[in-house]
A and B are shown apart, each in its own frame.
Chain A
C-alpha cells in the first residue's frame, strides 16, 4: 500500500465523488456528472464502479467483486486484487458476508440485506442514447419526462418479433420519475431492483456519470398493459446445483454440440452444493 493513499484515489477526488453520490441518492435515477479520474485500468473494465467503490470503502469493510455473477472471472479477480493491494481490505466471495459488492452485469441471487451497498459498473448510463445521440437533447427529455420514445422502441420489438426482445439493460422507471438504464444486467434481475433493502450505486467511468437507487425504492420495468414485463425462463435446471430459479449460463462442453446450463452466480451455486469454504 506504500505510495498510495488509502483506496488509491486522493482525498479531494473522493470528496467530489461523495458529494455527487449524496445528490444521486437525493434524486433517485438521475445521472449526476462527476469529474471521473483516469484509473490504472482501461475504460470498459469498470473504472466508474472502481471510483465509486474507492470513495465509499473503509478499512473495516469486506468487499466482494463479481463479473457476470462469477467471483473467479478475469474482471472480478483483477478488481478484487486491486482493492486488496491499494486498500488492504478483507475480501470474500460470500454474498451474505460482504459489506460492499462491486458487480459487472448481475445482481446476486441471494437476497441483499439492509446496510449492504451494491456498486454497478455501467458502460453507457443514458437509456435514451441509442434513440437520441445528443446529450443536450437527452437531458431535456429527462427534464420534461419526455419518455414516449422509450415505449416506441419497446413497441418496435413487439411489431417485429411479437414480444419485447430487449433482454438486458432493460429500462426502468425509478420512483415514478426518471427512466434509468440499470446497466447491462439481464432483465431477469430487474425485479430485484424494486424495493431492495440495499443501497444501489451506479458508476460510468468513461461517460463520467453516477446515479443511485436508495433502499426500498419503487423501480418499475417499462412495459405495456397487453405486453407485461416478463423475465427469462429456462426449461433446464442448473446442471451443478439443480436450482430452477437462478439465472443460467449456457456452457459448451465439447465440439459435438454438447452443452450444459449452470448458475451464473457462482457463490449461490457453490453454497447450494455445500461447497462453500
Chain B
C-alpha cells in the first residue's frame, strides 16, 4: 500500500542521505505509523523510507529512525546524538533536511539518537516536570532486533491484555528495558522510547508497564 519513494539526490559529502520525496504526504503517512506504534506499545511496523548510507556509523541508525527524524524534527527541536552514532555527515544531513539544532546537553534535548550499545542509564535526559511531564526527551534507539516474543511482557494503555517485546540480549538492551520498567516509579515524569531496527519500528511510552514473565 505504501507508494515507492524516489530518493532525492542531494549530496552530503560523497554519501546520499535521503530526504522525503513528497514532504507533506510522506511525513503524514510516516507520522500515522509512528502514532500507531506509540498508541499501541510494542506493535511492530515497517516504515517505507529510504535508508541512510550503508557506511559506519550511519548504518547503525537504520531507515526507520531516520524516517522518524525526518517526520518529527525541525528548527524548533533540539537533538542529542550519542558518540557512537555521531559523525559529520549525520550532523550535516540532520541540519540540511530538518534544520534541527544539535545539542551536547541531553537534559536539553527533545530527541536523543543512540544505539543499545551506547545507552547509559546515567545519562541525564529530560524527564519533564511534575507540572509539565510532556517536556521530556524522546529516545530514538537502534536496537539488536524487534520481535513480539520473549520473556518481557508489556501491559497498560494501548494494550488489550499483554504484548511481548524482544529488543535483544545485549547488556544495553537489558538496561533499556530496565529503564522503561523504572518509568512507573516516576510517572508522569519519564522517558518515551522509539526503537528502530533497520526499517522496523516499535515504541514504548512511559505509560507502559514492563514485566518479566520469567517465573522466579
Contact = CB atoms under 8 A, between A and B. Distances in A.
Given A11-B24, A16-B76, A175 B131 contact: no
**A contact face: mostly helix, strand, loop, or mixed:** mixed
The range of chain A's interface size is: 35 or more
A3 B133 CA distance: 38
Contacts of B129: 143
Interface residues of B, number: 41
Nearest to A57: B28
Interface string B24-45: 1101110110111011100000
A6 B24 contact: yes
A58 B29 CA distance: 7
Contacts, number: 114
Contacts of B207: 26-28, 175, 214
Given A21-B35, A32-B134, A215-B40, A177 B72 contact: no
B74 interface: yes
B192 A22 contact: yes
Interface in A123-152: 139-140, 142-144
27 contacts: A6-B24, A6-B25, A14-B28, A15-B27, A15-B72, A18-B35, A19-B110, A20-B134, A21-B35, A22-B35, A22-B72, A23-B134, A25-B39, A26-B192, A27-B205, A30-B134, A32-B134, A33-B132, A58-B25, A58-B29, A143-B131, A175-B207, A199-B36, A212-B39, A215-B158, A216-B157, A218-B157
Interface of B: 23-25, 27-29, 31-32, 34-36, 38-40, 71-77, 110, 129-134, 136, 138, 156-160, 187-188, 192, 205-207
Given A11-B24, A26-B205, A212-B39, 12 more contacts: A11-B23, A14-B28, A26-B38, A28-B157, A32-B134, A33-B134, A56-B32, A58-B32, A143-B188, A174-B157, A215-B160, A216-B157
